[in-house]
Structure 1
Amino acid sequence: MSEGTLRKIRCVAVDDEPIGLSVIAAHAAKVPYLDLQGTFTSATEALAYLQRHPLDLVFLDIEMPDLSGLEVARLIGTQARIIFTTAYPHYAVEGFELAATDYLLKPIGLSRFLQACGRVSEQLEAAGRYLFVKDGYDWVRVDLAALRYLKADDNYLTFYETHQTTLTRMTLTEALQRLPAERFVRVHKSYVVSLDFVEKIERHQLTVAGVKVPWSATYREELLRRIG
């Protein structure tokens, strides 16, 4: 895919040192597919922005006074991808355990910055085909073409594919942020279904690949709009 057709990556940078933010901003200005929407010296202000504006990526320093970057990454969860930017290499293992896309050591050169951004672009391109979710200590690939429906139980979520099921710690809201909106729709407080597998719609339930799934009136209008 050429640069001209790459989707824009909506991002922000968080660093308590203004010079760190200026480096990220200067590098980002050289990447046509990056849309740097803001820079923040306060982690709490960045989190508040993320609640109001969907983002694809956060450039995140680690050692900050209000919240550490590791704490911020845990709060962000799956809402956006993370690239850590830090002067301290000893955080790398913990950073990757949090599923960070990359870990940039300061001073950050343009070449290394471009490499990290390229990884994010590749991940976002692949997001329409598959995603990885954590099952215990392992990361499991979920093929979206085979994903029939998802079922929530408190803060746990089961992905039902045609060939396997995967249990992960995630909410339906978090999952919907990672799923293609044109293919997946919420039909109940505990269920999201793939429109590709809906076989029958009855008054209070759907048949999804031979499985009966409850259908709530709360989500009825959206489903009918999507299939109409």
Structure 2
Amino acid sequence: MSAINCIIIEDELPASILLELHIAKFDFLDLKGKFTSVSNAQNILKSHKIDLIFLDINLPGKSGIEFAKSLHAETAVIFTTAYTEYAVQGFEIDALDYILKPISLERFTKAINKYSKAREFNETILHSKKQEKENPFIFVKCERKMVKLFLEEISYFESQGNYLLIFTTTECYKTYQSITEMQEKLPEGLFCRIHRSFLVATNKITGFSTSIVNIKNKQLPIGRFYHAYVSRILNSLHNYH
């Protein structure tokens, strides 16, 4: 696991020392500072990316709960307090955990494990979203199962009656949906409808004329009612390059 930058905001010295001792037992926890009030911690929050705050609720000046409401969503909070009546308030503002003092190592470990799982889940989601953005895909039902197809691998679609053939760089897939339904699912600009039966990936076009489009050694016809649209799209690609 990558390093987790954390700070302690705690005005009771024994509790602060105990938290520091617990933190030292976890190699991936990097303690960036200890503070006795929210105001004292402001500078480090501006100069460092803090992932996790061990935050006392009863603090001089601004309370821990009031401060937690102002934090960025990416900063996790584990509340520390001697009072059970604050638990509901703590969870209402989406605190990761709520630990009663004096904090045992066992209870501290449980809170850290909870944070680690939440962090791992969030990183997985972010990675998945990044991959989807960088390499978009669609799911298509083929042979009673859903198949994931990356758009960059699709060469063209061909309508055949009540089903659709999807030609990728390596395979051909068959799905029961119309070419129009498929076109509506695809991002604008990546594919061009050249015929009532053909939808082609613009980046896979290797040549074209007034009547055909080439995708490697495959020649696909340009429909009579699509000439003007296809000509505009293909000439804009030609001029761009």
The interval holding the TM-score normalised by the smaller chain is: 0.5 to 0.7
Equivalent in the alignment of 1:93: 88
Equivalent in the alignment of 1:218: none
Unaligned runs of 5+ in 2: 138-150, 153-184, 190-241
> What is the SS of the residue equivalent to 1:48?
helix
The one of 62, 79, 90 equivalent to 1:84 is 79
Deviation at 1:42, TM superposition (A): 1.8
Q: Following superposition of structure 1 onto structure 2, how do residues 159-198 of structure 1 map, counting pairs within 5 Å? A: 183=130, 194-197=133-136
Equivalent-residue separation in structure 2 for 1:34 and 1:58 (angstroms) = 11
Partner AA of 2:67 in structure 1: V
Q: Give CA-to-partner distance per residue, 1:156-183, whole Å, 9 cap, x none.
A: xxxxxxxxxxxxxxxxxxxxxxxxxxx3
Deviation at 1:196, TM superposition (A): 3.1
Whether contact under 8 Å (1:9, 1:56) holds in the other structure is: yes
Larger proportion of helix: 2
Partner AA of 1:20 in structure 2: A
> What is the SS of the residue equivalent to 1:129?
helix
Equivalent-residue separation in structure 1 for 2:33 and 2:106 (angstroms) = 22
Deviation at 1:211, TM superposition (A): 5.5
Equivalent in the alignment of 1:102: 97
Equivalent-residue separation in structure 1 for 2:135 and 2:58 (angstroms) = 45
Whether contact under 8 Å (1:62, 1:68) holds in the other structure is: yes
Equivalent in the alignment of 1:156: none
Q: Is the aligned partner of 1:64 residue 2:41?
A: no
Q: Is the aligned partner of 1:8 residue 2:27?
A: no
RMSD across aligned C-alpha pairs, in angstroms? 2.5
Greater relative contact order (Cα < 8 A, sep 6+): 1
Call closer, same or farther: CA 1:209–1:194 in 2, change over 3 Å: farther
Equivalences, count: 144
> What is the SS of the residue equivalent to 1:194?
helix
Whether contact under 8 Å (1:9, 1:121) holds in the other structure is: no
Whether contact under 8 Å (1:84, 1:103) holds in the other structure is: yes
Equivalent-residue separation in structure 2 for 1:104 and 1:98 (angstroms) = 15
Whether contact under 8 Å (1:13, 1:38) holds in the other structure is: yes
Equivalent in the alignment of 1:210: 187
Runs ≥4 residues deviating over 6 A: none
Partner AA of 1:66 in structure 2: G
Deviation at 1:80, TM superposition (A): 0.7
- Larger gyration radius, structure 1 or structure 2: 2
Deviation at 1:16, TM superposition (A): 1.5
Q: Is the aligned partner of 1:129 residue 2:124?
A: yes
